[in-house]
Amino acid sequence: MLSPAMNDVAGVLLDVFLMYLCARVAAEVFERLKLPVVVGELLVGVAIGPHALRLIGVPTGPMIEVFGSRAAASKGLDLVYDVIAEIGLVVLLFYIGLTTPFERLIRVLPRSIAVAVPGIAVTMALGVAFMALLGHSQHESLFVGAAMVATSVAITVRVMGSLGELESLEGQIILGAAIVDDVLGLLVLAAVVDLTRSGRIDALEVATVVAEVTAFVVVAALAARTAVPRYSLHLERLKMESAPLAFALVVMLGMSALAAGLGLAGVVGAFLAGIALSGSSEQLELDRDVRPIYEFLTPFFFVIAGAKVDLAVLNDAHTIWLMLGLTALAIAGKIIGCGAGSWGLGRRSILIVGVGMVPRGEIGFAVASVGLSLGAISADVFSAIVLMSIVTALVAPPLLQFALRGRGLPRMAVRAPPVEY
């Protein structure tokens, strides 16, 4: 006879099995439909979560017996899910950093910054102003604005690649801007989290946070550009199996912990760890070894994020208008802001770049999840943010197809090596 604790573990393992199985089925379906896989994973989470089919996230009898009450069991189960999701998110950002060539980031940096910065500024300003006009608190408004700013690298690359435009001039600009977008989005997240915890807005405090993150970025960039390529890591001398992978995971977890210790988001450290190791001689081996871990763990983040969406909140007219308003502003902010940063490329290219920056994804979910965990945003606002991200990811492919219709795009003079995300 199994003890209640062992039955408790069995229940969690069953949930993990269902999450992964459903995520993989959704990935296959959405790949065939040429839609972003991340959207399928989110929708799966919504469907099987505790607010819909209740296949996961519902404490069993043994769990309640172990924790003493249904409320305590639910909190314990949520904590387990949050840990799994956070590990998946850390691996996701690490892999994105690892597969981002430092040279490509530098080559497109001027135009990327010109596109990313106004896109972030306009979108965040629209989001914060919209929430403030609706009477939401300052902290909630800031978190919503921060959740709206970052374009999804994974979704953008998947969409542009499926349309065969990733190596076009516009495609390279969008890719670089999306990467810069994520870095700046992480900076915004760090600043907003710090402001929420301190309970006040202090220019010096904001400058300190930005300086910490900037120093962190500079150190990782210097390592990626000079130290790592110049000095071989000589990991082959280690006797353990898969030494490069073990070293990379240690660096990833260590920098994530260091970032968290500095008061930043752990994903900041994970991304910079990937950037630093992207210049190592073992990069190709690490890419091959980390990819299965990435494929295994990252779906959990999106499924668990989707499972937190309570569609019942859409029974409230206020929440419906909130979601629609955030979605409209999220689309308009990127088209206007990023389009302005593309000035000089021609009208069609301006539209393509603006539309290409529309999809939201992992950083927005991370910001919303952090805000929910800190109690800075409510459950209905969290659901509205996730639904906004789903809608922007769904509308981006047809909008891009419309913008690209009728002409071929100019190609980069130098063919860049393909990068997988």
CA 290 to chain centre: 18
Q: Name the residue with tokens 């929440």.
A: 319
The answer to whether 283 touches 214, Cβ cutoff 8 Å, is: no
* Identity of the residue numbered 89: L
Q: What ranges in 134-265 are assigned the alpha helix state H? A: 138-149, 153-162, 169-198, 203-222, 228-230, 243-261
Number of Cβ atoms within 10 Å of the Cβ of 169? 18
The answer to whether 401 touches 85, Cβ cutoff 8 Å, is: no
pLDDT 10s per residue in the chain (421 long)?
455 555 677 888 999 999 999 999 999 998 888 777 878 888 899 899 998 899 998 887 778 887 888 888 888 888 889 889 889 888 887 887 787 766 766 777 788 889 999 999 999 999 999 999 988 888 899 999 998 988 876 666 666 766 777 667 787 788 778 777 877 777 787 778 777 776 665 566 667 766 776 777 677 667 666 666 655 556 666 677 777 888 889 889 988 888 777 666 677 778 778 877 877 767 777 888 899 998 899 899 889 888 887 777 777 787 888 989 999 999 999 999 998 998 888 888 888 889 888 888 667 777 888 888 888 888 888 888 888 887 887 787 778 878 877 555 444 433 333 433 3
Q: Name the residue with tokens 């073992």.
A: 282
Give domain status of residue 13, yes or no. Answer: no
Output the pLDDT for position 232: 54
Query: DSSP assignment of 315-339, as one string?
Result: GSHHHHHHHHHHHHHHHHHHHHHHH
Beta bridge partners of 360: 151
Output the pLDDT for position 3: 56
Give domain status of residue 285, yes or no. Answer: yes
Output the pLDDT for position 123: 94
Output the pLDDT for position 419: 39
Output the pLDDT for position 415: 37
Give domain status of residue 55, yes or no. Answer: no
End-to-end CA distance of the chain: 46
Output the pLDDT for position 418: 40
Q: Residue 30 and residue 154: Cα distance in Å, rounded?
A: 14
Q: Name the residue with tokens 């996701």.
A: 92
Give domain status of residue 70, yes or no. Answer: no
Q: What does the block give as tokens for 97?
A: 């950093």
Give domain status of residue 191, yes or no. Answer: yes
**Structural domain boundaries enclosing 337:** 86-404
* Identity of the residue numbered 152: S
Give domain status of residue 15, yes or no. Answer: no
Output the pLDDT for position 221: 66
Number of Cβ atoms within 10 Å of the Cβ of 110? 10
**CATH classification at residue 389:** 1.20.1530.20
Q: What does the block give as tokens for 289?
A: 């070894």
pTM (2 decimals)?
Answer: 0.73
Output the pLDDT for position 38: 78
Task: Specify the number of domains making up the chain.
Answer: 1
Give domain status of residue 73, yes or no. Answer: no
3-state SS record for 10-47: HHHHHHHHHHHHHHHHHHHHHHHCCCCHHHHHHHHHHH
Give domain status of residue 129, yes or no. Answer: yes
